[in-house]
Chain A
Amino acid sequence: MAELIFSDLSREFDGIPALKQINAQISSGEFVALLGPSGCGKTTLLRLTAGFDQPSSGTVQLGGRIVAGDGHFVPAEARGIGVVFQSYALWPHKTVFANVAYPLEVRHLARATVAARVTEALELTGLSTLRDRMPAQLSGGQRQRVALARCLVFDPAAVLLDEPLANLDLALRASMHEAFVMFHQRTAATMLYVTHDQSEALALADRVAVMKAGVIHQFATPEMLYREPVNCFVAGFVGDGAVVPVQQTGPRSDAGISVRVLGQDLICTRATDAPTHASIRPEAITLSGEAPLRGRVTACTYLGGRFRIILDAAGETLVAFSTQRAVFGENVGITLGRVWAFRDQDGQPS
C-alpha cells in the first residue's frame, strides 16, 4: 500500500523519446490501467516503476520516497513491488510451491512461516492441488495464477501487471478478471495494469491513463473517458462511436454550447470554448423514419440482442445500435441525443 507519483518522468532510448514528461499521481490502493496502442510507452513506464530501467530525467516516488531519478536509484529487489509478467516468468526449474516460496526465502523467513504463507497464497489462488507440479505441466491460466500467488505472498506495496491476459483465451480472461479483483481486495495494494485492450482497462480499473507516443492524453475514470474524452485520439481509442467535426454557432450557456454538426444545429455538452470535434456514441443516436438528418446503411452486424449499424450521413461515418435489422443501402432518419464537443486542433480520430 503506497502512493505512486511520477514527476516530469522521461525516458529516451538512443535519443528517441519513449516517455515524455509524464506527470501522474496514483493513490494508495488504487487500481490504475495504462491503456494505449503498442509502442506508446506504457511498458517503459511500468519498467521504470519496477526498477528494471532508469529514467533519463524526472522522478518516481513510491510511498513518499524517491526510488528513481534526482540522483537516487533503488534497485528492483529493494522496492517491494510485485510484477506479473506477460510471459508469467515462472522459474522452470522450481515447483509451483518453490516458485511461490522464493520471495520469502530471499527474505530469510523461518521455514514454518514460509510454508504457512505459501499454503495460504496457493489456497487463495486455487492452486492447492498443484503445489508439486513443475511450471511446464501447467496450463496458461494456472501459470498466471502462480505468478499472482508469487506476488501475493510477500505483501508488495504495489503490483505491476504487464499485459497479463495477452496469452490467454477469451473464456479464461473472464475468470482471471475475477482473480485480479480478488487479489486487489485482498492485498489493497496499489495496482498498475498495462494493457492495449480497452475493454479490459474499462472493466477492471478505478482510473485509466490513455497513452500515445510517450504522453498520457487523459487520466480519468472509465465512465469519464467514455463520456467526456479530451481529444480525438481518446474519443476514438476508447469505446465505440464516431468523431465528427463541429462549428460553434452561438454563445455558451449553462445548458451547453450551440454548434452545427452534420448540418444540424444542436446544443452540446462541452469542456472548452470553441470546440472543433464532437464524439457521438452509439447510444446518442436514435433511428426513425422521419428525422431530417438522413443516413444510408453501409453495414449491419448482430451483437446478440441488438444490431450495430454503420451509417453514412452527410459525408461522415456514424455508429448506431438498433433492435431491428437494417438492410444495406436503406435510407434512415437520424436523431442525435447527447453529444460531447471538445477542442482538438490537429486531431484526427484514431
Chain B
Amino acid sequence: MDRLLPLILLPVTLIALGPVARLLVEGVGFGDGFTTNHVSTVLARPSTGTALRNSLVTAGVGTVLSILIGGAFAYLVAFTNVRAKGALVFCLMVPMMIPPQITALAWMQMAGPSSTLLKIVGLAPPLGSPQPLHSAGGIILLLGIQHASLVFLTLRAGLRMIPAELIEAARMSGAGPARVWMQTVLPLSLPALVAGGALAFVTALGNFGIPAMLGIPAGYLTMPTLIYQRLVSMGPSVLPEVAVLAMVIGGVAIAGVLLARLALRQRGFGLVGLSGSTLALGLGRARAGVEAGLWAFIFVILALPLLALLATSLIPAYGVPLTFGTATLEAWHEVLVSQPVTRRAYGNSLMLAGGAAGILLLICLPLAWVLKRRPSRITHLLDTLVDLPYALPGVVLAIACILTFLNLPFTDRTLYGTVWIILLAYLARFLVVMLRPVQAGIAQLDPAMEEAAASVGAPLGRRLRDIVLPLAAPSAAAGAILVFLTAVNELTVSALLWSSGTQTLGVVIYNLEDSGETVMASALALSIVMAVVALMVLVQIGARRFPKGVIPWQS
C-alpha cells in the first residue's frame, strides 16, 4: 500500500499538467519541426496588440477598483466595531460565486434604454441611446466588483496575522485611529494587499464572461474574447495561431501569480504576539453612517442587479414594460420545463459538475495524504504546479485541451465535440479547488492520530479508511461543494469546448443573450443564482463542522 499510493501522482500529473505541456510545444511548431513562424505572424498582427492592450487596461484598472472596494471592506471589518460583520462578508462574497456572464447580464438589465427596472421608475434613457455598459468602462466596473472579494479575502487573512498588541501599542503611544492605520496597519498589511491585487489581476485577465457580454457587441476585444472569436469563426485550423495567443496571455497571468507569491513570501516582518484576536476600534458616532454606506454599497452591487434581472425575467417580451398586468412566469416555465436545450444544459452542467466533484474527491484524498505524509522533491514540484491549470485563463486551458485531445494519442479517435473533453478540462482546472481544502483538513490532523493507529496494529490501508478518511471528510465535502459550485456555472472553458448537445448552462445563457432572448436568459440566470446562493447558505450553516481555511469566504 505504501509503495502503491505514490503512483497516484502519475495520472494526476498527466491530467493536470499534460494539456498545459502540450500547449507549450504547440507554439514552437510541434510536429512540423521547430519553427517560430506562428509566433511571428501572430505577434505582428495589429489585432493582437490591441487585444493585449485592452486586456491589460481592463484588468489593470479593474484591479485598482477591486483593491479600493476589497481594501475598504477588509480594513473596516477587521479593525472597527461595525455590526453584522458575518452578513456583510457573506454578501460581499456572493458576487464572487455568481458566474461573470450572469453578473454582466444582470447589470445590463439595470442600465440602458431597455432596462425593465429603469422603466418601472421612469428613469430609462430614451430608446436608441447606447447601452453605457457596452464599453471599456463597463468591463472595468464589473471586473472590479467581481474580484473585490479576492482582495478582501487575501487582505483579511493578512490582517488576522497582525497581533492586536501592535495596534494597542501604537494607540498607547498616542496615535489616533487614522495614524494607526497609516503608520502601523497599512505597512504591515501591504504584502497581503499586493498579493490580493495580483490575484484579482490574474483572474480579471482570464475573465471571459464579462468582456464577452459587454465587449463583443461594442467591438472591444480582450485576449480571451479574441481567442474565442477566431476559434469560433475559423475552426480548429487556426489552433496553432490561437495557441500563441493563449501563451501570451498565459505568460502575463503567470507573471502575476509569481508576483503574488513573492509578495506573500516577503511578508517577513516576523510578527510576534497573539494574533487572531479581534480588534474593534470604536467608530463612535460615525458608526451608523459607515454601516449605512457599506450596506448601500452591497445593495447597489448585489441587490439592484438581481432585482433588474428579476424584473426582466417577468416580462412577456423584451422591451415590454413590467406592470401587474404584463407580469408573467412564461419565461421561467419555458427555460425550466419546456425548452429541451435549457433542460439538457441543466442536465449537462449537473452531470459535469457532479462528475468532476466526485472524481476529484476520490483522487484528492489519497493525493493530499501523499503530498503531506510522503513528501519528496516530486511532490513539492507537483504541489506548486497543480495551481497552473486554475491560475491560467480558462481559454488557455481550453485551447490546451483541444490540442491534447483533438487526436487521442495512439488512436484515430477524437474527444473534441464530446462531453468528455469538457469533463477532462474540468478535472484539470478544478483539481486545486478540491485539493487545497483537503490538504488543509489533513494538515490539521495530528500525525500522532495515525501513529497511534499504527502502534496498535492497523496497517496503512486501515489507517487511511478508519482514521484519515472520517477526519478529513468535512473538508473533502466542502471542497466537493466548491468544485460543484464553480463548475456548474462555468462558461470560459466550455465556451470553446461545447458542441451541439453538450452545451453547459454558462454556454446556453450566453447564447440566449447573444440571440436576443434576453428574457429567457434572465430567467435561467436567476434560477442559477438562486441555486448558488442556496448551496452557499448550506455550506455556511455547516461552517462550524469544517476545519479552518476550508471555506473561501471564511478564513
Contact = CB atoms under 8 A, between A and B. Distances in A.
A180 to B, nearest CB: 17
Contacts of B449: 89, 91
A234 B452 CA distance: 33
Contacts of B543: none
Interface in B225-248: none
B455 A102 contact: no
Contact of B458 (A51, A77, A81): A77
B455 A83 contact: yes
Interface string B436-479: 00000000001011011111111110100011001100000000
Nearest to B445: A92
Interface string B257-282: 00000000000000000000000000
B474 to A, nearest CB: 10
B446 A89 contact: yes
A91 B467 contact: yes
A52 interface: yes
B452 A107 contact: no
A103 interface: yes
B454 A52 contact: yes
B246 to A, nearest CB: 42
A76 B454 contact: yes
A102 B454 contact: no
B455 A50 contact: yes
Contacts of B470: 93
Interface string A49-89: 01110000000000000000000000111111111011101
B448 A102 contact: no
A171 interface: no
Contact of A50 (B451, B457, B459, B462): B451
A339 B174 CA distance: 61
A90 B470 CA distance: 14
B466 A76 contact: no
B448 A87 contact: yes
A79 B454 CA distance: 9
A214 to B, nearest CB: 22
B1 to A, nearest CB: 11
Nearest to A160: B455
A151 B449 CA distance: 14
A75 B459 CA distance: 9
Could you say which interface size class chain B belongs to? Answer: 10 to 19
Contacts of A89: 446, 448-449, 451-452
A76 B467 contact: no
A154 B446 contact: no
B451 A150 contact: no
A90 to B, nearest CB: 8
Interface in A293-334: none
Nearest to B469: A93
A106 interface: yes
A81 B454 CA distance: 10
Interface in A102-117: 102-103, 106-107
B455 A81 contact: yes
Contacts of A86: 448
Nearest to B459: A77
A86 B451 CA distance: 12
Could you say which interface size class chain A belongs to? Answer: 20 to 34
Contacts of A78: 457
B454 A91 contact: no
B453 A102 contact: yes
A86 B457 CA distance: 19
A262 to B, nearest CB: 45
B456 A52 contact: no
A154 B453 CA distance: 12
Contacts of B460: 77
Nearest to A153: B456
Nearest to A159: B455
A83 B452 contact: yes
B451 A102 contact: no
Given A92-B471, A93-B470, A93-B471, A106 B457 contact: yes
B479 to A, nearest CB: 19
Contacts of B467: 91
B451 A107 contact: no
Contact of B462 (A51, A85, A90, A106): A106
A55 B449 CA distance: 22
Given A83-B451, A85-B448, A87-B448, A102 B471 contact: no
A124 to B, nearest CB: 17
Contacts of B454: 51-52, 75-77
Nearest to A82: B455
B471 A106 contact: no
A83 B460 CA distance: 17
B451 A76 contact: yes
A75 B2 CA distance: 11
B364 to A, nearest CB: 20
A103 B448 CA distance: 15
Interface string A161-204: 00000000000000000000000000000000000000000000
Contacts of A79: 455
A106 B462 CA distance: 8
A323 B127 CA distance: 105
Contacts of B457: 77-78, 80, 103, 106-107, 154
Contact of B452 (A80, A91, A93, A154): A91
Nearest to B471: A93
A52 B451 contact: yes
Nearest to A81: B455
Given A50-B451, A93-B470, A102 B456 contact: yes
Q: Name, among B453, B454, B462, the residue most crowded by chain A CB atoms within 10 Å (CB to CB).
A: B454
A91 B446 CA distance: 10
Contacts of B456: 77, 82, 102-103, 106, 150-151, 154
A74 to B, nearest CB: 11
Contacts of B452: 83, 85, 89-91, 147, 150
Given A87-B448, A102-B466, A76 B455 contact: yes
Contacts of A107: 457
A106 B467 CA distance: 12
A350 to B, nearest CB: 29
A76 B446 CA distance: 17
B110 to A, nearest CB: 49
A141 B467 CA distance: 23
Contacts of B471: 91-93
B455 A87 contact: no
A107 B448 CA distance: 20
Nearest to A76: B454
Contacts of B458: 77, 102, 106
Given A86-B448, A147-B452, A151-B456, 15 more contacts: A50-B451, A50-B455, A75-B454, A77-B456, A77-B457, A77-B460, A82-B456, A83-B452, A87-B446, A89-B451, A89-B452, A90-B452, A91-B452, A92-B471, A107-B457
5 contacts: A77-B454, A80-B457, A82-B455, A91-B471, A102-B456
Chain A to chain B: the 7 pairs with minimum beta-carbon distance, closest first: A103-B456, A89-B448, A76-B454, A89-B452, A83-B455, A85-B448, A106-B458
Interface of B: 446, 448-449, 451-460, 462, 466-467, 470-471
